[in-house]
A = this chain, B = another copy of it.
């Protein structure tokens, strides 16, 4: 592989001049610059990124830790991140941590050793230990997809309000027995999405003067099968819901299937509303009414924010809460 010295020799200049030419420094004559670039091209030379990283102490690389890239939700977020990085001349190292603490810390360590310029971290949980590890390592960090009480930048949506809106929509359609299928609450110690959404649901019911039935509150694992089981139990119970709010689209889809399998119809007998707005929503029958999260945007904005911080812009960077949106399709109807 050709290196800077080869180019210098062939162009009859010093390696410093070659370096200048490639870094667009002002103090190289246009003529020599052109000659250098041409010679470089002819022998297929381009600067070595690792070598550059070493001297500049900057790798132009972002570390990206997500739970699971095979989940379409994260696929969208990551797509937003990668697109943005590409536009800003960064590359992305992808890490699947499965929401597992050890895997996360292991990856954080690896990324640190790789001198990544920053990390975008996406996980169901952000604990005190996370906070301390990141602080200790002093790596620029942006949390994606969730807010936090720590002084760490994040890009997310207002989960409480989003769930409030979803529930309220059901109420506005005349529903009174509204069930919820939420995710793991984890003792409600941490500010997990699931907790916020659950709280938003309860608040909406209370504000409308409606009763909160314990029988209509079920927990599942964010997946279709979990949603199916939870809905099935609800529908076979004493108090039957006329509407169900599932806090992820996959669970909502499971719930719709449960409605049919229980001998009811959706939306005629039971309305179902989801959360996320993944592509599937328009494809299934009935098309799913849901709360849209700007997944791509979450990724894109997080990446932009991180790149800015790395660039050292002291412009008082702030966390961002993006807007959610109610997308009305056909899975909910007036009571």
Contacts and interface: CB of A to CB of B under 8 A. Distances in A.
A80 to B, nearest CB: 9
B59 A70 contact: no
Contact of A48 (B96, B113, B296): B113
Contacts of A54: 48, 50-51, 54
A69 B59 contact: no
A196 interface: no
A contact residues, range: 35 or more
Interface in A28-79: 44, 46-51, 53-54, 59, 61, 64, 68-72, 74-76, 78-79
Interface of A is mostly: helix
Given A69-B79, A72-B75, A93-B93, A113 B46 contact: yes
Contacts of A91: 93, 95, 110, 114
A283 B224 contact: yes
Given A47-B113, A49-B114, A253 B283 contact: yes
Interface string A277-319: 0011011110000000000100000000000000000000000
A109 interface: yes
Nearest to A80: B70
Contact of A50 (B112, B114, B282): B114
